[in-house]
Chains A and B, each alone.
Chain A
Amino acid sequence: MLGWQLLLNGIVVGAQYALVAVGFSIIFSITRIFHVAQGATYVLAGFACYEVSQRLHAGLLLGIVAALFVAAAFGFIMQEGLYRSITNAEHSLFAMFVASFGAVIVVDNVISWAFGDNTINVVPALTKTLNIGQLQITKGGLVGLGLTIVVIGGLGLLLHRTRVGTLLRALASDEELFEMTYGSSRKYRRIAFALGSILVVPGVLMIGSIQGLQSSDGITIGTILIAVTIVGGIGSLTGAALGGLAVGIVENLAQWKLSVGWDPVVTYGIIVVLMLARPTGLLRALRPAQ
């Protein structure tokens, strides 16, 4: 029974990882910017929702709107203010890494100063436990499973059935050819950043409620969500889902034998092992990794 419960937990957690991973996947595959600061977007969005909905008592809906706005604004500032200034400089890959890594650390520290180091619960209602037979699942876990399917499915439709989506995929596949055909790619890079950034919101509402959210999550959850994308295959939505499930399930099954203190060792250990086993992802990516 414990085994089934842990497997279910793993699927629930894995779905949430997949949910936060797709945003990074969109940004990286379309703009080729290794946006490590996606973890910062995650924390900022979570705290925005918490502060507005619970500290200001403005209701969950306004909280979500605030989270969407903060996520999009941060992504926009990173892209237009920082990355675009660096793109044309020498050693731009290295500079991008430094800039986005620095952004996560600064945001984590500013949040810990502004809101403290306590673990917050973004949407308390989601922590309620439901019983299905002998298995237990939190409300957030159930909602998260549904959201994952809706978000990934919706994103698939957007990318494959709309004009914007087709252009985004064209840009992901070859930037030079895209610019020759359609002129500047700037507008679509902005769209990719905005879309990728607001995609952290459903994920942070779920994970930030079930596991809680704290200021240092920018770097820790950030590492997991990017790793999940890489393990699944950059640019592949199915891959992100598979990667999330793989990490989530193994991480939870490991709790069968190991005490809770070993959690981070197991989670990050799995990430390293999966990345070593498949450095370019479980599925062939939308665009082959360089």
Chain B
Amino acid sequence: VDVVSYWESVFVEAAATLIVALGLNLQLGYAGIYLAAPAVLYGVGAYIAALTAIHLTSSFIIVVLVSIGGSVAMGAAFGVVASRIKGEYFIIASMALGFVLTGIANQLSFLGGSEGLVAIPVNTVFGIQLIGNQTFAIVGLICAIIAVALFAVIVNSTAGRRWRAVMSDEAAARSLGLHPTRLRIGASAVSGVFFGLAGAIYAANLQYVTGADFSTNETFLLIVAIVVGGAGTVTGPILGSLIVIGITGVLTNINFSPGLAGVLPEIVYGAILVVILIGAPSGLVRLRFDRGLRARWRDNRAMKPRDRLETAIGKLPNDPDVDSQPPDTDPAGGEA
């Protein structure tokens, strides 16, 4: 295979992955919603785009708009669930919802069953046929730039600040007159914009979609991309997506035995994840080089309750037993 063309296809994948990662980052890093099925929402976008291209029109812009519309609705539905099943419990609820949607896609004939949707017509934009890796590299780049700009505007808007307020302290946010339920549903719906856009690129590029491509392995890749870069930042997912897709691109080019080649990316991501979580839990873009990795690791492991208190309030008195200090004259009036 032509080397340039191969890396162009890797670039398209990186662009789509980056856009999905932004959507996931909005939920995990800005709204505190533990979505564990981003790949399924990505797939919903891709299926809607595929259905639109097959049955309605091959105009890429209309396909993108329809896909975004459907994904926003699906995001809102997930948001309704997230506003009732909160915190860690939503990990399980979202995975279960993901399995429900995957199961439905495998059963309904108009969604192609387990074969998926094939022979998606070539999309066009302003009369240009979108076909070939080079074309899609340009489309992917343009869409990624638009998505990053949009993301930066959204998370720095009033709504973005409110999401973060609800994430960091729901009770306080409520006391300021914010509506956590509405904000969660809103954040989840807005993230659909990114899932829909990425799904449309995916469907138009590959010209087929199957449920198997939006598995938990894909979800893992997206989570790694965000955590490596830094959740809750604009630049983190960009760096993270380029890293994970770059690694996948390199690994695919090396000849391993077929069994190992299939699982190696996941093992490598897992190893990277452990290093990041322990050495730089806030992500690479927030990494400060004031202390070495080993020192951080040791500190994290060795923190005692007293150290934790000290990081919160500063130095504590040296004598562990405060009460045993010689009592001063009792100011509360011992003469009574």
Residues of A whose CB lies within 8 Å of any CB of B are 34, 36, 82, 84-86, 88-95, 97-99, 101-103, 105-106, 109-110, 112-113, 116, 179, 219-220, 223, 226-227, 230, 261-265, 268-269, 271-272, 275-276, 279, 289-290
Cβ B300 vs Cβ A85 within 8 A: yes
Task: Give the distance to chain A from B80, nearest Cβ to Cβ, in Å.
Answer: 9
Q: B154 at interface (Cβ–Cβ under 8 A)?
A: no
Other-chain residue from B28, B86, B281 in contact with A89 (beta carbon distance below 8 A) = B281
Cβ A290 vs Cβ B87 within 8 A: yes
Cβ A91 vs Cβ B281 within 8 A: yes
Please give, as numbers and ranges, the residues of chain B lying within 8 Å of A264 by CB-CB distance: 99-100, 102-103
Closest to A230 in B: B89
Other-chain residue from B92, B107, B269 in contact with A227 (beta carbon distance below 8 A) = B92
Q: List B137-160 residues whose CB lies under 8 Å from chain A.
A: none
Cβ A276 vs Cβ B81 within 8 A: yes
Compute how far the CA of A277 lies from the CA of B260 in the bound complex, rounded to whole angstroms. Answer: 43
Cβ A93 vs Cβ B88 within 8 A: yes
Q: B305 at interface (Cβ–Cβ under 8 A)?
A: yes
Cβ B300 vs Cβ A89 within 8 A: yes
Cβ B86 vs Cβ A279 within 8 A: yes
Cβ A101 vs Cβ B91 within 8 A: yes
Please give, as numbers and ranges, the residues of chain B lying within 8 Å of A263 by CB-CB distance: 103
Closest to B89 in A: A230
Other-chain residue from A94, A113, A220 in contact with B99 (beta carbon distance below 8 A) = A220
Closest to B220 in A: A105
Compute how far the CA of A275 lies from the CA of B84 in the bound complex, rounded to whole angstroms. Answer: 9
Compute how far the CA of A106 lies from the CA of B223 in the bound complex, rounded to whole angstroms. Answer: 13
Cβ B260 vs Cβ A113 within 8 A: yes
Please give, as numbers and ranges, the residues of chain B lying within 8 Å of A271 by CB-CB distance: 92-93, 96
With A86-B281, A90-B282 given, can you name 5 additional A-B contacts, CB distance below 8 Å?
A92-B281, A102-B273, A110-B267, A271-B92, A289-B89
Compute how far the CA of A258 lies from the CA of B314 in the bound complex, rounded to whole angstroms. Answer: 63
Q: How big is chain B's contact interface, by range?
A: 35 or more
Q: B227 at interface (Cβ–Cβ under 8 A)?
A: yes
Quick one: given A110-B267, A223-B95, A268-B96, are A86 and B220 in contact (CB under 8 Å)? no
Cβ A95 vs Cβ B100 within 8 A: no
Closest to B34 in A: A97
Cβ B88 vs Cβ A272 within 8 A: no
Other-chain residue from A84, A95, A105, A279 in contact with B216 (beta carbon distance below 8 A) = A105
Cβ B273 vs Cβ A98 within 8 A: yes
Cβ A262 vs Cβ B36 within 8 A: no
Closest to B303 in A: A88
Closest to A264 in B: B103
Contact with A along B303-322 (1 / 0, CB 8 A): 10100100000000000000
Cβ A101 vs Cβ B96 within 8 A: no
Q: B19 at interface (Cβ–Cβ under 8 A)?
A: no
Other-chain residue from B28, B262, B266, B301 in contact with A84 (beta carbon distance below 8 A) = B301
15 CB < 8 A contacts A-B? A34-B91, A88-B301, A88-B308, A89-B277, A92-B281, A97-B34, A97-B91, A102-B273, A113-B260, A227-B92, A263-B103, A265-B100, A265-B107, A268-B99, A275-B93
Compute how far the CA of A290 lies from the CA of B223 in the bound complex, rounded to whole angstroms. Answer: 24
Q: B124 at interface (Cβ–Cβ under 8 A)?
A: no
Cβ A265 vs Cβ B220 within 8 A: no
Cβ B85 vs Cβ A95 within 8 A: no
Q: Max chain B CB contacts within 10 Å: which of A84, A99, A262? A: A99
Other-chain residue from B34, B89, B260, B267 in contact with A279 (beta carbon distance below 8 A) = B89
Closest to B308 in A: A88
Please give, as numbers and ranges, the residues of chain A lying within 8 Å of B34 by CB-CB distance: 94, 97
Closest to B99 in A: A268
Cβ A101 vs Cβ B281 within 8 A: no
Closest to B93 in A: A275
Other-chain residue from A94, A227, A262 in contact with B103 (beta carbon distance below 8 A) = A262
